[in-house]
Amino acid sequence: MDSREHDALQRKQRLALLECISSEQMVVVSMISSITVIFILHHVICALAYRSKGRKVNDVNGRPPCPWRIPFLGNLHHLFLLKPLLEHQALAHLARQYGPIMRFYLGSRPALFVSNYAAAQSFFQANERHFASRPYFKFYDWLLYGHHNGVAFSSYSPRWKKMRRFCILQLFTPQRIMSSSKILEEEVALVVNDVCRLCKSSEDGSVSVNVAHLAHLVVSNIMGRLTLSKRMCDTHAHGETLIDMFKRTNDAIVPAMTDFLPPILGPVLDFKSKWRMIQTHKHIDAFWTLILEDRRGRQDSADACGDHWSHADFLGALLSDKEVMELGDDNIKATLMDILGAGSETSSITIEWAMAELLRNPGCLSKLRNELDKSCQQEDILHVPAHLSFPILGSRWARKHVLLSSSSPSLVSSSRFPSSASGTEDFEACTETTSSLRCPSYVSCSQVSQMPYLRAVIKETLRLHPPVPLLIPRGLSAPDEVAEQHGFEDEAILFLNAWAIGRDEEVWQDPELFKPERFINEGSNSSRSSSIMRTLPFGTGRRRCPGMPLAMCIMELTLAAFARNFAWEIPTIETQRTAELDMSEKSGSAGTHKAKPLEAVLRPRVVR
């Protein structure tokens, strides 16, 4: 190789080296630039947030104040800046700065948040009829049965009024609740009896349970028998329980970005969640279709024989009503999902919170037991149909979720579960042979209705821990007319922050303390407090939950049986003591649960 070629080769090597160094430098420079931009944006946002703290952004049209917002996100960044507060807590914090009626943009969609009692009262007196509908969200079509079926999410229309009136007459009147009291008492007594049997067979006379799942088992089985004459923990179509099906539905619920972001961005971000919800809906629809087909076949056979047992439950009433049938099967399926889903989840959440508060406040638990012991007989006999007297804690769902420990696993073996548990028979179709169930301390619906302290405990729990802190949003009934007349924006959504209203210092003395006595003691605020708690946790006005009377009866009966029949302890493996019980919250699609589920050791209590 001559010197000329050698020089050319060296030049090429130097150029290649310089290119490598340049590319590496470019990568480093690019990384530094990106970090610098993120750093600057972070500090700009924090500086703006600090400068805007406490500042109200008023509208020229006199609309409620609004926190500062940014393009596309609206005011959502405030929720991120206030982490780890949950959404309802963060909005209550913002309401202290911007007022009890606050405008808040969920992306590009305007919303109104009402956060104290006086504001809620004045606002609804003037505008409740305008906000009687429900806003439209995409997941209604993707996961559920649209915006015009059912009672919970349906728009305000004659169709909705008809279904709401039908549900009230068939399930929620005092006469209906009284006629259904035997079902409530049987399910509560059976669970209590099962737990007592497990305790007696264990080595130390106790059993450890997940309280939320135990309460959910009781409540869901009650609702299942009232609506379908089937327990929800029983296996139905596709070998799946109703509880499993509702869990699948709740897990699939994700807010659709299309509802809050511009049309270009929303569909791209929603692709995966939309596909998942559509697939879940297909599974849900097949589940309900099989149930309806099975019931129609049984009903036709029963009618041919002159037997009308199949009309005794809510589904039978739906299928035998001509006006309801004209609305279509999708409306029936949506209504069943609303009744079963909402009724089971919210009541079981409240029972868990109530037991947690009673364990944190032993004095309140002692007062409740004194009232129960005075009102109930020491031992009562409950006569139940023979086909019900089997261990319901033997069901697959209960074995998996309720029992945390038991030294006698054979008692919850599926081999002891009778064939009727497979869901092939309805309760009303079974024989009427009865057997006597000696419940340790049987509590009846008529007894709990005469216990003021028990009801006060439930009300105080609902005040501190509403199962749905931000009540289901409302939409404008006639957007064009109302928006122009009252200054609301066309797509405005109304949220009622029940969590913040329950802690309103202008209404409640010591709002953070658990004091059931506030609903019993006669005083200047007693009637006012009672009127608030009769409405807000269940909504208010035209959209108030129609199932409130039944829910209160179920919660009171279940809590009374749990408190009277068992001595409750926090497991010794926990480092926490009852006074330090973790009461933090966790948001979910079905309500606000305890962040750490309540686990307790239960022992049969000797009633004197």
> Which residues, in sequence order, are CB contacts of 19 under 8 Å at separation 6+?
none
Give the residue among 454, 457, 474 at the shortest CA–CA distance from 543. Answer: 474
- 439 marked ligand binding residue: no
CB atoms within 10 A of CB 458: 23
The answer to whether residues 252 and 277 touch, using CB atoms and an 8 Å cutoff, is yes
Query: CA of 552: how far to CAs of 103, 325, 566, in Å?
Result: 33, 30, 21
> Which residues, in sequence order, are CB contacts of 586 under 8 Å at separation 6+?
86, 592, 593, 594, 595
Is the dihedral angle over the CA atoms 42, 46, 49, 51 positive or is it negative? negative
Q: What are phi and psi of 464, to 5 degrees?
A: -80, -35
β-pair partners for 210: 599
CB atoms within 10 A of CB 525: 13
Distance CA 432, CA 424 (A): 17
Which tokens go with 393?
A: 């804690």
DSSP 469-506: SBPPPEE-SSHHHHHHHH---TT-EEEEBHHHHTT-TT
Distance CA 552, CA 369 (A): 19
Binding positions for heme are 545
Annotated binding site: 545
